[in-house]
Amino acid sequence: MLTSILSTLSDFGAAVRDTYVLPGQVALSLLVTHAPGLAAWLNIDGGETPLLMTFLLSLVYWFLVIVLLVYIARFCQSITRYVESLLRTGLYYVSHLLACLKTRTILSLRGLFPRRRRRRAEDDAPPMIEFDKLDMAVLRTVSAKGPGFALAAPDLADRFKLRPSQVQRSLDKLSNSKMLVSVIGNTDGYDNYRLTDYGHAYLAMWLRQSSRA
C-alpha cells in the first residue's frame, strides 16, 4: 500500500512538472521552427531541450497567465458593481415615481371620498411634526447622498459643526416621523439612516413651497 501511495505521488509530481514546463517546451519548439537563426544563436538545436531556458520561459508564461486572470477577475468585479449600482438607481427612481404618482392620486381624489374615509387615511399617515432648520438640513443632506446611501450622526456632525448627540436627536425625530429609516450597520456606535419615499416626497413638497415663497 505504501508503495502504491508513493507511486501515485510520484506520478502526480511528474504530471505537475510536465504541465509546468509545457509552455517553455512549446515556445522553444516554435523558436526552432520559425526562427532557426535565433535558435542557433541561442544554442538551441531542437534536440536536447535547455532545462534552464525552458524553466524561465514557463515561469514567464504562468506569471502572465496569473496576471491575466487577476485582471479578468477585477474587471468582472467592476462590471458587477456597475450593474448593481444601475439596478439600485433604477429601483430607486421607479419607487420614487410610484410614490409621487400615489401621492398625486390621493391628493386629486381626496375631495371625492367621504370625510370618514379621508380621516381614516389621515390617521394612517405619519404624524405631522414641526421640523426646525436642523431637521430640514439633515433631511436635505441625506437626500443629496443619492439612492442607496446612508449617513450617521458622526458624519452629519462633522458637516454641521455639532455634537453627534445633537444630530442624533434630529435623526430620531425624522425617523419617528417616517422621513428616515435606519439600515443595517453603524458608524462609531450610531445607527445609519437613509431617506424613505415619504421623506423624499415631503422634501420635494417643502422645496416647492420654499421656491414659491
Span 92-133, pLDDT tens digits: 888 888 888 888 788 777 666 555 444 554 444 545 567 888
* Structural domain 127-212, CATH architecture: Orthogonal Bundle (1.10)
φ/ψ (deg, to 5) at 183:
-120, 170
pLDDT, the chain, mean: 78
Q: What is the side-by-side order of every strand in the sheet holding 180-187? A: 151-152, 190-195, 180-187
Identify the H or E element spanning 194. strand 190-195
Residue 100 C-alpha from the chain's centroid: 27
Residue 25 or residue 177, greater confidence? 177
Q: How far apart are CA 11 and CA 59, in angstroms?
A: 22
Residue 36: per-residue pLDDT: 66
Residue 44: per-residue pLDDT: 65
CB 100 within 8 A of CB 201: yes
Residue 160 or residue 54, greater confidence? 160
Q: How far apart are CA 176 and CA 68, in angstroms?
A: 52
Gyration radius (Cα) of the chain, Å: 34
pLDDT for residue 71 is more than 90: yes
φ/ψ (deg, to 5) at 100:
-65, -40
Residue 67: per-residue pLDDT: 92
Largest Cα–Cα distance of the chain, in whole Å?
100
Q: What are the sequence ranges of the domains in the chain?
A: 1-125, 127-212
Give the torsion sign (CA, 148, 100, 125, 127): positive
